[in-house]
Structure 1
Amino acid sequence: MPEAGSGGEPGDPADILLVEDNPGDVRLTREAFTEGGISNTLHVVTDGVEAMAFLEQRGEYADAPRPDVVLLDLNLPRKNGDEVLAEMRADEDLQYLPVIVLTSSEAEEDIVESYELQANAYLTKPVDPEQFIETVRTFKSFWLSVVRLPPGGRD
């Protein structure tokens, strides 16, 4: 099996891909990771096309690490989160990579669609910055401290 990212065991540092086009949300996410003492590596891309290039290690992302988990916004330019998730689940190398939808949408149809596309979780971004930071910390404490992530990577 290909080599794992870096977070195979609960509590191990992990590579996280944040797919987010809002600079404020990227800043808050980084802040939450820093304040929470999270030693994981946060990689950021700003649209769905870049996300797939990163995940497939194409172009400027040829040397990108395989992330252990993806934090995916739905409302993205060029290719939205649902399209990214559908492509990932159709790709043999990416189909089991954990994807946490982290979006401002509370629409029931978005939640249903995300789970139909096999998202592992759906988190709604709070408007309040402190609550947003707390949401990211909660993600960290569960997904990066308790859950055992599947091995991944490429040969």
Structure 2
Amino acid sequence: MKEWLALYKYRGKESMREVVGPMLMHAYQLHRKVEAAPAAEFLSYVPLSRERFGERGFNQAEQLARELGLRTGVPVIPLLERIRHTGKMSLKSRSDRLQDLRGVFRAESQGSEWIRKACGRGPVRVYLIDDVYTTGSTLNECARTLIEPVGTPMEVCGISWAR
């Protein structure tokens, strides 16, 4: 898995999304099996900073979300923006990650509007996609950023490829 991740994320072999993306189906299906179906569901992804996007040329989490969306028919919408660059999380401790991630994300305005409208019809579930889950700091901060301002019946579930 480490080799695949390195090929995909750090060496720019974007075709790996077609191998890695379908692997997210199992986690998605487990969420659907255990929890009651919401009125609406969406896929979204952890955004990259402009600097990191510039280095890689793509957002692997977005690509994985789009691959999962193709297989499930669930719409993929951008819900978050990264408003501040952070250093590579893989090099940081859990406490450093928690501190560095505070205030890094904000809700994307158009995506937030889609969620508000969908919440008017009942509970909404957002599947937030990231490539790697290490401490949960990134997904927790993203979920907090999404849930706090909306104040509606929204559930955020994290799906990642590797841990």
TM range (shorter): 0.3 to 0.5
TM-score using structure 2 length: 0.35
- Which structure: larger Rg? 2
> Which of the pair has the greater relative contact order for Cα pairs under 8 Å at 6+ separation?
1
Q: TM-score, normalised by structure 1?
A: 0.37
From the two aligned structures, give the one with the greater helix fraction. Answer: 2
